[in-house]
Structure 1
Amino acid sequence: MGISAHSPGQGIAEVVMDVPPVNALTVQGWFDLADAVRAAGRDPANRVVVLRAEGRGFNAGVDLKEMQAARGFEALVGANRGCYAAFAAVYACEVPVIAAVHGFCLGGGVGLAGNADIVIASDDAYFGLPEVERGALGAATHLARLVPQHLMRAMVYTCRNVTAAELHAFGSVLEVTPRDGLRAAALEVAATIAAKDPYVIRRAKESLNGIDPIDVNRSYRYEQGFTYELNLMGAGDRHRDAFLTDGGR
Protein backbone atom coordinates (compact mmCIF):
# COMPACT_ATOMS: atom_id res chain seq x y z
CA MET A 1 0.00 0.00 0.00
CA GLY A 2 0.98 3.66 -0.34
CA ILE A 3 2.63 4.92 -3.51
CA SER A 4 4.34 2.33 -5.66
CA ALA A 5 5.99 2.21 -9.08
CA HIS A 6 6.17 -0.71 -11.50
CA SER A 7 7.15 -1.46 -15.08
CA PRO A 8 4.28 -3.35 -16.75
CA GLY A 9 5.83 -3.19 -20.22
CA GLN A 10 8.82 -1.98 -22.18
CA GLY A 11 9.11 1.79 -21.96
CA ILE A 12 6.10 2.07 -19.62
CA ALA A 13 6.17 3.10 -15.95
CA GLU A 14 3.11 2.65 -13.76
CA VAL A 15 2.68 4.75 -10.61
CA VAL A 16 -0.09 3.48 -8.34
CA MET A 17 -1.88 5.12 -5.42
CA ASP A 18 -3.20 2.60 -2.88
CA VAL A 19 -4.11 4.43 0.31
CA PRO A 20 -7.34 3.07 1.85
CA PRO A 21 -10.05 3.90 2.38
CA VAL A 22 -10.35 6.58 -0.34
CA ASN A 23 -6.85 7.51 -1.53
CA ALA A 24 -6.91 10.77 0.43
CA LEU A 25 -3.19 11.42 0.74
CA THR A 26 -1.29 12.60 3.77
CA VAL A 27 1.32 15.32 3.49
CA GLN A 28 4.03 12.70 3.08
CA GLY A 29 1.86 10.82 0.58
CA TRP A 30 1.72 13.83 -1.75
CA PHE A 31 5.49 14.22 -1.64
CA ASP A 32 5.95 10.48 -2.19
CA LEU A 33 3.72 10.69 -5.25
CA ALA A 34 5.69 13.64 -6.60
CA ASP A 35 8.96 11.74 -6.10
CA ALA A 36 7.62 8.63 -7.84
CA VAL A 37 6.37 10.53 -10.89
CA ARG A 38 9.58 12.54 -11.20
CA ALA A 39 11.72 9.42 -10.91
CA ALA A 40 9.68 7.64 -13.56
CA GLY A 41 10.06 10.54 -15.97
CA ARG A 42 13.80 10.84 -15.42
CA ASP A 43 14.45 7.16 -16.04
CA PRO A 44 15.74 6.98 -19.64
CA ALA A 45 14.14 3.55 -20.03
CA ASN A 46 10.65 5.07 -19.73
CA ARG A 47 8.73 6.72 -22.54
CA VAL A 48 5.34 7.11 -20.82
CA VAL A 49 3.88 7.01 -17.31
CA VAL A 50 0.48 5.59 -16.34
CA LEU A 51 -0.88 7.09 -13.11
CA ARG A 52 -3.68 5.07 -11.57
CA ALA A 53 -5.13 3.92 -8.25
CA GLU A 54 -6.43 0.90 -6.43
CA GLY A 55 -9.54 0.86 -4.27
CA ARG A 56 -12.84 2.71 -4.39
CA GLY A 57 -11.71 5.71 -6.41
CA PHE A 58 -8.80 7.50 -8.03
CA ASN A 59 -8.15 10.19 -5.43
CA ALA A 60 -10.20 12.04 -2.81
CA GLY A 61 -7.72 14.83 -2.21
CA VAL A 62 -6.07 15.77 1.07
CA ASP A 63 -6.33 13.70 4.26
CA LEU A 64 -8.46 16.09 6.31
CA LYS A 65 -8.19 13.94 9.41
CA GLU A 66 -4.44 14.45 9.46
CA MET A 67 -4.90 18.17 8.97
CA GLN A 68 -7.43 18.58 11.77
CA ALA A 69 -5.40 16.45 14.18
CA ALA A 70 -2.35 18.68 13.78
CA ARG A 71 -1.70 21.76 15.87
CA GLY A 72 -1.17 25.10 14.17
CA PHE A 73 -0.87 25.41 10.40
CA GLU A 74 1.97 22.97 9.78
CA ALA A 75 -0.25 20.29 8.20
CA LEU A 76 -2.09 22.84 6.07
CA VAL A 77 1.15 24.27 4.73
CA GLY A 78 2.52 20.76 4.22
CA ALA A 79 -0.57 19.62 2.31
CA ASN A 80 -0.51 22.69 0.09
CA ARG A 81 3.17 22.24 -0.66
CA GLY A 82 2.70 18.51 -1.21
CA CYS A 83 -0.17 19.00 -3.63
CA TYR A 84 1.79 21.68 -5.46
CA ALA A 85 4.75 19.29 -5.78
CA ALA A 86 2.63 16.37 -7.01
CA PHE A 87 0.65 18.39 -9.54
CA ALA A 88 3.85 20.01 -10.82
CA ALA A 89 5.56 16.62 -11.08
CA VAL A 90 2.78 15.31 -13.33
CA TYR A 91 2.82 18.42 -15.50
CA ALA A 92 6.62 18.61 -15.78
CA CYS A 93 7.20 14.86 -16.10
CA GLU A 94 9.71 14.38 -18.89
CA VAL A 95 7.45 11.89 -20.67
CA PRO A 96 3.67 11.91 -21.24
CA VAL A 97 1.49 10.98 -18.25
CA ILE A 98 -1.74 9.03 -18.72
CA ALA A 99 -4.17 9.32 -15.81
CA ALA A 100 -6.38 6.22 -15.54
CA VAL A 101 -9.32 7.40 -13.44
CA HIS A 102 -12.00 5.29 -11.79
CA GLY A 103 -14.68 6.14 -9.26
CA PHE A 104 -14.23 9.52 -7.61
CA CYS A 105 -11.66 12.09 -8.74
CA LEU A 106 -12.07 14.93 -6.28
CA GLY A 107 -10.02 17.90 -5.12
CA GLY A 108 -6.40 16.86 -5.46
CA GLY A 109 -7.47 14.14 -7.87
CA VAL A 110 -8.59 16.85 -10.29
CA GLY A 111 -5.19 18.48 -9.88
CA LEU A 112 -3.51 15.25 -10.97
CA ALA A 113 -5.87 14.43 -13.83
CA GLY A 114 -6.00 18.02 -15.05
CA ASN A 115 -2.22 18.18 -15.32
CA ALA A 116 -1.93 14.79 -17.05
CA ASP A 117 -1.35 14.64 -20.80
CA ILE A 118 -4.09 12.09 -21.41
CA VAL A 119 -7.06 11.00 -19.29
CA ILE A 120 -8.75 7.63 -19.67
CA ALA A 121 -11.67 6.94 -17.35
CA SER A 122 -13.98 4.15 -16.33
CA ASP A 123 -17.70 4.56 -16.90
CA ASP A 124 -18.25 5.04 -13.15
CA ALA A 125 -15.76 7.90 -12.86
CA TYR A 126 -16.79 11.39 -11.80
CA PHE A 127 -14.83 14.59 -11.22
CA GLY A 128 -15.40 17.51 -8.87
CA LEU A 129 -14.04 20.15 -6.52
CA PRO A 130 -15.77 20.10 -3.11
CA GLU A 131 -13.34 22.75 -1.87
CA VAL A 132 -15.94 25.49 -1.24
CA GLU A 133 -17.79 23.13 1.09
CA ARG A 134 -14.50 22.39 2.90
CA GLY A 135 -13.53 26.02 3.45
CA ALA A 136 -10.75 25.89 0.86
CA LEU A 137 -9.94 26.83 -2.72
CA GLY A 138 -7.64 25.37 -5.34
CA ALA A 139 -7.35 23.16 -8.44
CA ALA A 140 -9.69 25.32 -10.51
CA THR A 141 -6.53 25.83 -12.57
CA HIS A 142 -6.57 22.12 -13.37
CA LEU A 143 -10.34 21.76 -13.68
CA ALA A 144 -10.21 24.47 -16.37
CA ARG A 145 -8.08 22.08 -18.42
CA LEU A 146 -10.90 19.52 -18.31
CA VAL A 147 -14.10 21.56 -18.73
CA PRO A 148 -15.13 24.84 -20.39
CA GLN A 149 -14.70 28.06 -18.41
CA HIS A 150 -18.32 28.65 -17.40
CA LEU A 151 -18.84 25.06 -16.33
CA MET A 152 -15.65 25.24 -14.28
CA ARG A 153 -17.00 28.29 -12.46
CA ALA A 154 -20.34 26.63 -11.83
CA MET A 155 -18.61 23.52 -10.49
CA VAL A 156 -16.49 25.59 -8.09
CA TYR A 157 -19.45 27.61 -6.78
CA THR A 158 -21.96 24.73 -6.51
CA CYS A 159 -19.57 21.80 -5.90
CA ARG A 160 -21.39 19.74 -8.52
CA ASN A 161 -19.62 16.86 -10.22
CA VAL A 162 -19.28 15.87 -13.87
CA THR A 163 -19.11 12.36 -15.26
CA ALA A 164 -16.49 10.74 -17.43
CA ALA A 165 -19.04 10.67 -20.25
CA GLU A 166 -19.45 14.46 -20.04
CA LEU A 167 -15.69 14.96 -20.18
CA HIS A 168 -15.45 12.57 -23.11
CA ALA A 169 -17.92 14.79 -24.96
CA PHE A 170 -15.63 17.78 -24.29
CA GLY A 171 -12.64 15.80 -25.55
CA SER A 172 -10.75 16.00 -22.25
CA VAL A 173 -11.22 12.28 -21.58
CA LEU A 174 -9.82 10.23 -24.43
CA GLU A 175 -11.70 7.02 -23.74
CA VAL A 176 -14.44 5.80 -21.39
CA THR A 177 -14.24 2.12 -20.62
CA PRO A 178 -15.82 -0.39 -18.23
CA ARG A 179 -14.05 -0.32 -14.90
CA ASP A 180 -12.58 -3.79 -15.25
CA GLY A 181 -11.00 -2.74 -18.55
CA LEU A 182 -9.54 0.59 -17.40
CA ARG A 183 -5.97 -0.52 -16.75
CA ALA A 184 -5.81 -2.45 -20.01
CA ALA A 185 -7.13 0.54 -21.96
CA ALA A 186 -4.57 2.86 -20.36
CA LEU A 187 -1.73 0.42 -21.02
CA GLU A 188 -2.82 0.06 -24.65
CA VAL A 189 -2.52 3.80 -25.21
CA ALA A 190 0.75 3.78 -23.26
CA ALA A 191 2.13 1.05 -25.49
CA THR A 192 1.34 3.12 -28.57
CA ILE A 193 3.33 6.02 -27.14
CA ALA A 194 6.14 3.76 -25.90
CA ALA A 195 6.62 2.47 -29.45
CA LYS A 196 7.64 5.94 -30.64
CA ASP A 197 11.16 7.33 -30.76
CA PRO A 198 11.94 8.16 -27.09
CA TYR A 199 13.94 11.26 -27.93
CA VAL A 200 11.13 12.64 -30.07
CA ILE A 201 8.49 11.86 -27.44
CA ARG A 202 10.43 13.71 -24.74
CA ARG A 203 10.88 16.73 -27.00
CA ALA A 204 7.17 16.61 -27.88
CA LYS A 205 6.28 16.79 -24.17
CA GLU A 206 8.70 19.65 -23.63
CA SER A 207 7.40 21.56 -26.63
CA LEU A 208 3.73 21.19 -25.67
CA ASN A 209 4.43 22.48 -22.16
CA GLY A 210 6.34 25.37 -23.71
CA ILE A 211 3.35 26.56 -25.74
CA ASP A 212 0.82 26.20 -22.92
CA PRO A 213 -1.01 29.54 -22.56
CA ILE A 214 -1.32 29.17 -18.76
CA ASP A 215 1.48 28.80 -16.23
CA VAL A 216 -0.27 26.11 -14.19
CA ASN A 217 2.20 26.27 -11.32
CA ARG A 218 1.86 30.01 -10.76
CA SER A 219 -1.91 29.91 -11.31
CA TYR A 220 -2.38 27.15 -8.72
CA ARG A 221 -0.10 28.90 -6.24
CA TYR A 222 -2.27 32.01 -6.57
CA GLU A 223 -5.36 29.95 -5.72
CA GLN A 224 -3.62 28.49 -2.69
CA GLY A 225 -3.15 31.96 -1.25
CA PHE A 226 -6.91 32.21 -0.78
CA THR A 227 -6.95 28.91 1.10
CA TYR A 228 -4.47 30.42 3.53
CA GLU A 229 -6.76 33.45 3.94
CA LEU A 230 -9.78 31.24 4.60
CA ASN A 231 -7.84 29.42 7.29
CA LEU A 232 -6.65 32.60 8.94
CA MET A 233 -10.26 33.80 9.07
CA GLY A 234 -11.44 30.52 10.62
CA ALA A 235 -13.52 29.28 7.69
CA GLY A 236 -11.20 26.36 6.92
CA ASP A 237 -11.32 24.78 10.37
CA ARG A 238 -15.07 25.37 10.68
CA HIS A 239 -15.94 23.57 7.46
CA ARG A 240 -13.40 20.76 7.88
CA ASP A 241 -14.63 20.06 11.41
CA ALA A 242 -18.23 19.97 10.20
CA PHE A 243 -17.32 17.58 7.41
CA LEU A 244 -15.50 15.18 9.73
CA THR A 245 -18.26 15.41 12.37
CA ASP A 246 -20.79 14.38 9.72
CA GLY A 247 -18.78 11.23 9.00
CA GLY A 248 -16.19 12.50 6.52
CA ARG A 249 -14.71 9.82 4.35
Structure 2
Amino acid sequence: MTIRIRRHDNGIVVLTMDHPPVNALPAQGWHDLADAVRAAGADERTRVVVLRAEGRGFNAGVDIKELTADPGHAKLIAVNHGCFDAFKSVYECPVPVISAVHGFCLGGGIGLVGNSDIIIAAEDAYFGLPEVDRGALGAATHLSRLVPQHRARAMFYTGRTATARELADFGSVWEVVEPARLHTAAWELAESIADKNPLVIRRAKESLNGIDPVDVHRSYRFEQGFTFELNLSGVSDQVRESFGEPGGSGRHT
Protein backbone atom coordinates (compact mmCIF):
# COMPACT_ATOMS: atom_id res chain seq x y z
CA MET A 1 0.00 0.00 0.00
CA THR A 2 1.39 3.41 -0.95
CA ILE A 3 -0.48 5.56 1.58
CA ARG A 4 -1.44 4.59 5.11
CA ILE A 5 -3.98 6.62 7.09
CA ARG A 6 -4.19 6.69 10.86
CA ARG A 7 -6.79 8.81 12.62
CA HIS A 8 -6.49 9.71 16.29
CA ASP A 9 -9.19 10.72 18.76
CA ASN A 10 -7.59 14.14 19.34
CA GLY A 11 -8.13 15.15 15.71
CA ILE A 12 -4.63 14.39 14.41
CA VAL A 13 -4.48 12.41 11.18
CA VAL A 14 -1.14 10.82 10.25
CA LEU A 15 -0.61 10.03 6.56
CA THR A 16 2.36 7.79 5.83
CA MET A 17 3.93 7.28 2.40
CA ASP A 18 5.35 3.79 2.08
CA HIS A 19 6.36 2.88 -1.46
CA PRO A 20 9.72 1.04 -1.49
CA PRO A 21 12.47 1.39 -2.32
CA VAL A 22 12.66 5.21 -2.26
CA ASN A 23 9.07 6.50 -2.12
CA ALA A 24 9.18 7.53 -5.78
CA LEU A 25 5.46 7.48 -6.44
CA PRO A 26 3.77 6.28 -9.63
CA ALA A 27 0.98 8.35 -11.14
CA GLN A 28 -1.74 6.56 -9.17
CA GLY A 29 0.25 6.94 -5.96
CA TRP A 30 0.11 10.74 -6.25
CA HIS A 31 -3.65 10.60 -6.74
CA ASP A 32 -3.97 8.22 -3.79
CA LEU A 33 -2.07 10.69 -1.63
CA ALA A 34 -4.28 13.55 -2.81
CA ASP A 35 -7.42 11.53 -2.02
CA ALA A 36 -6.11 10.77 1.48
CA VAL A 37 -5.31 14.41 2.20
CA ARG A 38 -8.69 15.58 0.91
CA ALA A 39 -10.54 12.94 2.93
CA ALA A 40 -8.68 13.97 6.08
CA GLY A 41 -9.44 17.64 5.57
CA ALA A 42 -13.10 17.03 4.72
CA ASP A 43 -13.66 15.28 8.06
CA GLU A 44 -14.76 17.95 10.54
CA ARG A 45 -13.11 15.96 13.33
CA THR A 46 -9.68 16.52 11.78
CA ARG A 47 -7.66 19.34 13.33
CA VAL A 48 -4.23 18.81 11.81
CA VAL A 49 -2.57 16.44 9.33
CA VAL A 50 0.93 15.02 9.70
CA LEU A 51 2.55 13.86 6.46
CA ARG A 52 5.44 11.43 6.95
CA ALA A 53 7.15 8.49 5.26
CA GLU A 54 8.67 5.11 5.93
CA GLY A 55 11.92 3.86 4.45
CA ARG A 56 15.17 5.50 3.44
CA GLY A 57 13.76 8.94 2.75
CA PHE A 58 10.68 11.13 2.65
CA ASN A 59 10.11 11.20 -1.11
CA ALA A 60 12.22 10.80 -4.25
CA GLY A 61 9.68 12.33 -6.63
CA VAL A 62 8.07 10.50 -9.51
CA ASP A 63 8.72 6.93 -10.59
CA ILE A 64 11.14 7.42 -13.49
CA LYS A 65 10.89 3.73 -14.43
CA GLU A 66 7.16 4.14 -15.00
CA LEU A 67 7.86 6.97 -17.43
CA THR A 68 10.64 5.25 -19.33
CA ALA A 69 8.53 2.10 -19.77
CA ASP A 70 5.86 4.09 -21.61
CA PRO A 71 6.56 4.40 -25.36
CA GLY A 72 4.22 7.39 -25.59
CA HIS A 73 3.30 10.26 -23.31
CA ALA A 74 0.30 8.85 -21.46
CA LYS A 75 2.23 8.18 -18.25
CA LEU A 76 3.88 11.60 -18.38
CA ILE A 77 0.48 13.26 -18.59
CA ALA A 78 -0.85 11.00 -15.84
CA VAL A 79 2.00 11.67 -13.42
CA ASN A 80 1.90 15.42 -14.07
CA HIS A 81 -1.80 15.43 -13.25
CA GLY A 82 -1.07 13.28 -10.21
CA CYS A 83 1.60 15.61 -8.86
CA PHE A 84 -0.59 18.65 -9.44
CA ASP A 85 -3.43 16.90 -7.62
CA ALA A 86 -1.26 15.96 -4.63
CA PHE A 87 0.41 19.35 -4.25
CA LYS A 88 -2.96 21.10 -4.57
CA SER A 89 -4.55 18.87 -1.93
CA VAL A 90 -1.85 19.76 0.59
CA TYR A 91 -2.11 23.48 -0.06
CA GLU A 92 -5.91 23.50 0.00
CA CYS A 93 -6.32 21.15 2.96
CA PRO A 94 -8.66 23.04 5.32
CA VAL A 95 -6.41 22.28 8.30
CA PRO A 96 -2.65 22.74 8.76
CA VAL A 97 -0.41 20.10 7.20
CA ILE A 98 2.87 19.31 8.96
CA SER A 99 5.53 17.55 6.88
CA ALA A 100 7.90 15.37 8.93
CA VAL A 101 10.92 14.85 6.68
CA HIS A 102 13.79 12.41 6.98
CA GLY A 103 16.48 11.46 4.49
CA PHE A 104 15.98 12.68 0.95
CA CYS A 105 13.21 15.05 -0.12
CA LEU A 106 13.58 15.42 -3.88
CA GLY A 107 11.50 16.39 -6.89
CA GLY A 108 7.86 15.85 -6.04
CA GLY A 109 8.79 15.76 -2.37
CA ILE A 110 9.65 19.45 -2.67
CA GLY A 111 6.16 20.08 -4.03
CA LEU A 112 4.63 18.42 -0.98
CA VAL A 113 6.71 20.16 1.68
CA GLY A 114 6.70 23.47 -0.16
CA ASN A 115 2.91 23.51 -0.07
CA SER A 116 2.64 22.26 3.51
CA ASP A 117 2.18 24.64 6.41
CA ILE A 118 5.05 23.56 8.65
CA ILE A 119 8.14 21.43 8.12
CA ILE A 120 9.94 19.48 10.82
CA ALA A 121 13.08 17.72 9.62
CA ALA A 122 15.48 15.12 10.90
CA GLU A 123 19.16 16.04 10.97
CA ASP A 124 19.78 13.69 8.04
CA ALA A 125 17.19 15.36 5.80
CA TYR A 126 18.19 17.12 2.59
CA PHE A 127 16.14 18.86 -0.06
CA GLY A 128 16.58 19.40 -3.79
CA LEU A 129 15.29 19.33 -7.35
CA PRO A 130 17.31 17.04 -9.64
CA GLU A 131 14.76 17.70 -12.40
CA VAL A 132 17.27 19.13 -14.88
CA ASP A 133 19.27 15.90 -14.63
CA ARG A 134 16.12 13.94 -15.44
CA GLY A 135 15.03 15.88 -18.49
CA ALA A 136 12.16 17.55 -16.69
CA LEU A 137 11.22 20.79 -14.96
CA GLY A 138 8.82 21.67 -12.19
CA ALA A 139 8.42 22.41 -8.46
CA ALA A 140 10.62 25.51 -8.64
CA THR A 141 7.42 27.18 -7.44
CA HIS A 142 7.67 25.19 -4.23
CA LEU A 143 11.45 25.34 -3.84
CA SER A 144 11.14 29.14 -3.94
CA ARG A 145 8.96 28.91 -0.84
CA LEU A 146 11.80 27.16 1.00
CA VAL A 147 14.95 29.08 0.03
CA PRO A 148 15.76 32.61 -1.18
CA GLN A 149 15.29 33.34 -4.88
CA HIS A 150 18.91 33.21 -6.00
CA ARG A 151 19.61 30.09 -3.94
CA ALA A 152 16.59 28.46 -5.58
CA ARG A 153 17.91 29.29 -9.05
CA ALA A 154 21.36 27.90 -8.28
CA MET A 155 19.88 24.72 -6.81
CA PHE A 156 17.58 24.30 -9.81
CA TYR A 157 20.35 24.71 -12.40
CA THR A 158 22.88 22.51 -10.62
CA GLY A 159 20.69 19.90 -8.93
CA ARG A 160 22.50 20.53 -5.65
CA THR A 161 20.69 20.03 -2.38
CA ALA A 162 20.23 21.96 0.86
CA THR A 163 20.40 20.45 4.33
CA ALA A 164 17.72 20.65 6.97
CA ARG A 165 19.95 22.97 8.99
CA GLU A 166 20.30 25.32 6.03
CA LEU A 167 16.54 25.46 5.55
CA ALA A 168 16.11 26.10 9.25
CA ASP A 169 18.46 29.07 8.90
CA PHE A 170 16.30 30.33 6.04
CA GLY A 171 13.26 30.01 8.30
CA SER A 172 11.40 27.43 6.22
CA VAL A 173 12.04 24.47 8.54
CA TRP A 174 10.47 24.91 11.97
CA GLU A 175 12.72 22.49 13.85
CA VAL A 176 15.59 20.11 13.16
CA VAL A 177 15.71 17.07 15.41
CA GLU A 178 17.55 13.79 15.77
CA PRO A 179 16.06 11.16 13.43
CA ALA A 180 14.78 9.10 16.35
CA ARG A 181 12.78 12.12 17.59
CA LEU A 182 11.20 13.13 14.29
CA HIS A 183 7.82 11.48 14.77
CA THR A 184 7.62 12.63 18.40
CA ALA A 185 8.49 16.22 17.51
CA ALA A 186 5.92 16.29 14.72
CA TRP A 187 3.31 14.79 17.04
CA GLU A 188 4.00 17.33 19.79
CA LEU A 189 3.63 20.21 17.35
CA ALA A 190 0.44 18.69 15.93
CA GLU A 191 -0.95 18.37 19.47
CA SER A 192 -0.28 22.05 20.15
CA ILE A 193 -2.35 22.95 17.09
CA ALA A 194 -5.05 20.35 17.76
CA ASP A 195 -5.59 21.91 21.19
CA LYS A 196 -6.70 25.19 19.59
CA ASN A 197 -10.26 26.04 18.62
CA PRO A 198 -10.76 24.01 15.40
CA LEU A 199 -12.89 26.60 13.62
CA VAL A 200 -10.36 29.34 14.33
CA ILE A 201 -7.54 27.18 12.96
CA ARG A 202 -9.50 26.35 9.79
CA ARG A 203 -10.24 30.04 9.19
CA ALA A 204 -6.58 30.83 9.91
CA LYS A 205 -5.48 28.38 7.18
CA GLU A 206 -7.98 29.88 4.76
CA SER A 207 -6.89 33.42 5.52
CA LEU A 208 -3.18 32.64 5.12
CA ASN A 209 -3.82 31.03 1.73
CA GLY A 210 -5.85 34.07 0.76
CA ILE A 211 -2.94 36.47 1.32
CA ASP A 212 -0.30 34.29 -0.32
CA PRO A 213 1.64 36.45 -2.83
CA VAL A 214 2.01 33.58 -5.34
CA ASP A 215 -0.74 31.49 -6.92
CA VAL A 216 1.02 28.16 -6.46
CA HIS A 217 -1.39 26.26 -8.68
CA ARG A 218 -1.04 28.52 -11.72
CA SER A 219 2.71 28.91 -11.19
CA TYR A 220 3.33 25.15 -11.04
CA ARG A 221 1.03 24.47 -14.00
CA PHE A 222 3.08 26.97 -16.02
CA GLU A 223 6.23 25.03 -15.15
CA GLN A 224 4.67 21.75 -16.21
CA GLY A 225 4.20 23.07 -19.72
CA PHE A 226 7.96 23.16 -20.20
CA THR A 227 8.25 19.53 -19.11
CA PHE A 228 5.77 18.61 -21.86
CA GLU A 229 7.79 20.67 -24.34
CA LEU A 230 11.05 18.91 -23.44
CA ASN A 231 9.43 15.51 -23.77
CA LEU A 232 7.80 16.27 -27.10
CA SER A 233 11.13 17.50 -28.45
CA GLY A 234 12.82 14.21 -27.50
CA VAL A 235 15.36 15.86 -25.21
CA SER A 236 13.89 14.28 -22.09
CA ASP A 237 14.25 10.79 -23.54
CA GLN A 238 17.92 11.41 -24.22
CA VAL A 239 18.52 12.59 -20.67
CA ARG A 240 16.53 9.78 -19.05
CA GLU A 241 18.42 7.16 -21.05
CA SER A 242 21.57 8.21 -19.19
CA PHE A 243 19.84 8.43 -15.81
CA GLY A 244 21.77 6.41 -13.26
CA GLU A 245 24.47 5.32 -15.71
CA PRO A 246 28.15 5.89 -14.83
CA GLY A 247 29.13 9.21 -16.36
CA GLY A 248 25.53 9.96 -17.29
CA SER A 249 23.85 13.25 -16.50
CA GLY A 250 21.00 11.65 -14.58
CA ARG A 251 21.90 11.00 -10.96
CA HIS A 252 20.33 10.67 -7.54
CA THR A 253 21.32 13.76 -5.54
* Structures share fold, TM-score greater than 0.5: yes
2:100 maps to 100
2:211 maps to 211
Residues 82-231 of structure 1: pairs in structure 2 closer than 5 A: 82-231=82-231
Q: CA-to-partner distance for each residue in 1:175-232, whole Å, 9 max, x for gaps?
A: 0001111011001000000000010000000000000000000000000000001101
1:47 maps to 47
Which segments of 5 or more consecutive residues in structure 2 lack a partner in the other structure?
none
Letter of the structure 2 residue corresponding to residue 99 of structure 1: S
1:221 counterpart SS class: helix
Cα pair 2:13 2:49 within 8 Å, conserved: yes
Separation in 2, partners of 1:228, 1:70 = 15
Q: CA deviation at 1:90?
A: 0.3
Separation in 1, partners of 2:198, 2:239 = 47
What's the Cα RMSD here? 1.2
Q: CA deviation at 1:61?
A: 0.2
Cα pair 1:102 1:121 within 8 Å, conserved: yes
Separation in 2, partners of 1:20, 1:104 = 13
Separation in 2, partners of 1:239, 1:35 = 32
Separation in 2, partners of 1:104, 1:8 = 27
With the length of structure 1 as denominator, give the TM-score of the two structures.
0.98
Separation in 2, partners of 1:98, 1:113 = 8
Separation in 1, partners of 2:63, 2:245 = 15
Separation in 2, partners of 1:15, 1:23 = 13
Separation in 1, partners of 2:39, 2:152 = 32
1:112 counterpart SS class: helix
Runs of 4+ that moved beyond 3 A: 244-249
Q: CA-to-partner distance for each residue in 1:116-145, whole Å, 9 max, x for gaps?
A: 000000000000000011111000000000
Separation in 2, partners of 1:240, 1:111 = 21
Separation in 2, partners of 1:93, 1:226 = 27
With the length of structure 2 as denominator, give the TM-score of the two structures.
0.96
Query: How many percent of aligned residue pairs carry the same amino acid?
Result: 65
1:243 counterpart SS class: coil
Letter of the structure 2 residue corresponding to residue 30 of structure 1: W
Q: CA deviation at 1:71?
A: 2.3
1:61 counterpart SS class: coil
Separation in 2, partners of 1:35, 1:241 = 32
1:24 counterpart SS class: coil
Separation in 2, partners of 1:235, 1:90 = 31
1:99 counterpart SS class: strand
Q: CA-to-partner distance for each residue in 1:159-178, whole Å, 9 max, x for gaps?
A: 11000000001110000001
Letter of the structure 2 residue corresponding to residue 179 of structure 1: P
Cα pair 1:125 1:163 within 8 Å, conserved: yes
Residues 8-87 of structure 1: pairs in structure 2 closer than 5 A: 8-87=8-87
Letter of the structure 2 residue corresponding to residue 37 of structure 1: V
2:243 counterpart SS class: helix
Q: CA deviation at 1:244?
A: 4.6
Cα pair 2:133 2:251 within 8 Å, conserved: no
How many pairs align? 249
